[in-house]
């Protein structure tokens, strides 16, 4: 919309006959007022096409009985939503999603914070360590999942082998809800901890060093300095990572899907009793396996609402916690 209005303005500007000097003055005013909009316009244009339009279209689809291949089968109003609220599989997937999110995100961000603090202390060969923590994030998720699926194998997995040394019986990692959540969370943590710690590190390096010096003079411990100076100083970054990991964590799909060996071959979806089926996996099952696009779109919209709610809650909580000295 911005692009259209600026075009008209430009056309008007070109058509107005006037002496060179006032025109230049006029143009520079125009420049200062509208150029910023012009520059960010492409983003909104692209967002409109690829963000807003699918969002609205998904909402439209969710109000219909819509089959993936055969298309619209008629308007049903809120029937899909009514069905969804009574659907035990939906609540199960929501529980799994939230559980996996908490299990993976909370330890992940705390570990990232600690890792960043260590990296910030000027280790030898710091570039090596910094590149190193990012490595898990560079490896493709399929490769990570393949390796972790083997680690957590029931019969010949290395985790069960190691647990055997401390007298723990082999665990069927895909059969138990808590075990599968733990395994999938480990995978997520492995991938994202390093990435977040680099973000924290970048923020920590801009904290003024004299604050630490005066704190040292006052006899503050490292622990106290970390919580009283470092954490409040990097609060904006913490908020940013909390919001992005909320969005990412609640949309978890690839890790749990690839953790289920039957996902690609036998149409299973997150364990024999949906032990680790997330909302996105359920959406996939409904939309692309059962071809129920209308219901799938309904799940998509509910997920959108859940992400929004949790993001707001997390944002508020974190701002409070990180704000305390």
Smallest gap from Cβ 98 to other proteins, in A, equals 15
Examine residue 280 and tell whether it contacts other proteins (CB under 8 A).
yes
Taken as a whole, the chain contains a residue count of 325
Site string for other proteins, 84-123 (x = CB under 8 A): ----------------------------------------
DSSP 260: S
Nearer to other proteins, 226 or 304 (CB): 304
C-alpha–C-alpha distance, residues 219 and 213, integer Å: 10
C-alpha–C-alpha distance, residues 4 and 9, integer Å: 9
C-alpha–C-alpha distance, residues 149 and 163, integer Å: 16
Q: Of 73-81, 124-132, 153-161, 163-171, which part binds other proteins (CB under 8 A)?
A: 153-161
Examine residue 69 and tell whether it contacts other proteins (CB under 8 A).
yes
230, 212 Cβ separation under 8 angstroms: no
The site for other proteins, by CB under 8 A, has a size of 43
Q: Of 15-23, 52-60, 163-171, 205-213, which part binds other proteins (CB under 8 A)?
A: 52-60
C-alpha–C-alpha distance, residues 20 and 95, integer Å: 68
Which residue among 288, 309, 321, 323 contacts other proteins (CB under 8 A)?
A: 288
Q: Of 20-28, 48-56, 133-141, 184-192, which part binds other proteins (CB under 8 A)?
A: 48-56
Nearer to other proteins, 113 or 281 (CB): 281
Residues 175-204 that bind other proteins (CB under 8 A): 175
Examine residue 74 and tell whether it contacts other proteins (CB under 8 A).
no
Smallest gap from Cβ 283 to other proteins, in A, equals 8
Nearer to other proteins, 137 or 268 (CB): 268
Smallest gap from Cβ 194 to other proteins, in A, equals 21
Structure tokens at 322: 């990180």
279, 250 Cβ separation under 8 angstroms: yes
Site string for other proteins, 293-322 (x = CB under 8 A): x------xx-xx--x---------------
C-alpha–C-alpha distance, residues 189 and 196, integer Å: 10
Q: Of 8-16, 19-27, 154-162, 197-205, which part binds other proteins (CB under 8 A)?
A: 154-162
Smallest gap from Cβ 263 to other proteins, in A, equals 7
Examine residue 70 and tell whether it contacts other proteins (CB under 8 A).
yes
Q: Please, where are the H alpha helices in the chain?
A: 2-15, 20-47, 53-62, 79-85, 88-119, 126-138, 141-151, 158-165, 177-204, 209-217, 222-225, 231-233, 235-250, 254-259, 262-265, 279-284, 293-323
Residue 101's CB is within 10 A of a number of other CB atoms, namely: 23
Residue 205's CB is within 10 A of a number of other CB atoms, namely: 12
Which one, of 187, 181, 157, lies nearest residue 171 by Cα? 157
Which one, of 168, 162, 185, 308, lies nearest residue 247 by Cα? 308
Examine residue 266 and tell whether it contacts other proteins (CB under 8 A).
yes
Site string for other proteins, 216-255 (x = CB under 8 A): -------------------------------x---x-x--
Q: What is the CA radius of gyration of the chain?
A: 26
Which residues sit at the interface with other proteins, rule CB under 8 A?
50-51, 54-55, 58, 68-71, 146, 149-150, 153-156, 172, 175, 247, 251, 253, 261-269, 272-273, 280, 288-291, 293, 300-301, 303-304, 307
């Amino acid at each position: 919309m911005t692009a259209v209005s600026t075009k008209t303005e430009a056309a008007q500007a070109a058509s107005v006959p006037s002496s060179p000097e006032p025109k230049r003055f006029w143009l520079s005013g125009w420049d200062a007022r509208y150029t910023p909009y012009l520059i960010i316009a492409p983003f909104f244009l692209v967002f409109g096409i690829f963000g807003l339009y699918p969002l609205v279209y998904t909402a439209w689809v969710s109000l219909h009985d819509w089959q993936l291949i055969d298309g619209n089968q008629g308007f049903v109003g809120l029937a899909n939503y009514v069905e969804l609220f009574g659907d035990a599989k939906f609540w199960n997937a929501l529980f799994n999603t939230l559980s996996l999110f908490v299990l993976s995100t909370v330890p992940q961000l705390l570990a990232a914070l600690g890792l960043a603090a260590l990296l910030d202390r000027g280790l030898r060969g710091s570039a090596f360590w910094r590149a190193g923590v990012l490595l898990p994030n560079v490896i493709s998720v399929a490769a990570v999942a393949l390796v972790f699926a083997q680690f957590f194998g029931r019969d010949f997995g290395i985790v069960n082998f190691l647990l055997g040394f401390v007298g723990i019986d082999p665990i069927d990692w895909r059969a138990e809800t808590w075990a599968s959540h733990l395994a999938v969370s480990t995978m997520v943590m492995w991938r994202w901890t390093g990435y977040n710690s680099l973000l924290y590190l970048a923020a920590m390096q801009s904290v003024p060093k004299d604050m630490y010096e005066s704190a040292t003079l006052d006899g503050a411990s490292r622990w106290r300095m970390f919580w009283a100076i470092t954490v409040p100083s990097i609060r904006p970054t913490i908020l940013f990572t909390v919001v992005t990991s909320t969005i990412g964590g609640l949309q978890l799909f690839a890790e749990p899907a690839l953790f289920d060996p039957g996902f690609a071959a036998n149409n299973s979806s997150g364990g024999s009793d949906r032990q680790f089926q997330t909302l996105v996996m359920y959406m996939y099952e409904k939309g692309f396996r059962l071809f129920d696009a209308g219901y799938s779109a309904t799940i998509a919209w509910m997920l959108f609402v859940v992400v929004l709610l949790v993001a707001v809650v997390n944002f508020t909580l974190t701002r409070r916690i990180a704000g305390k000295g």
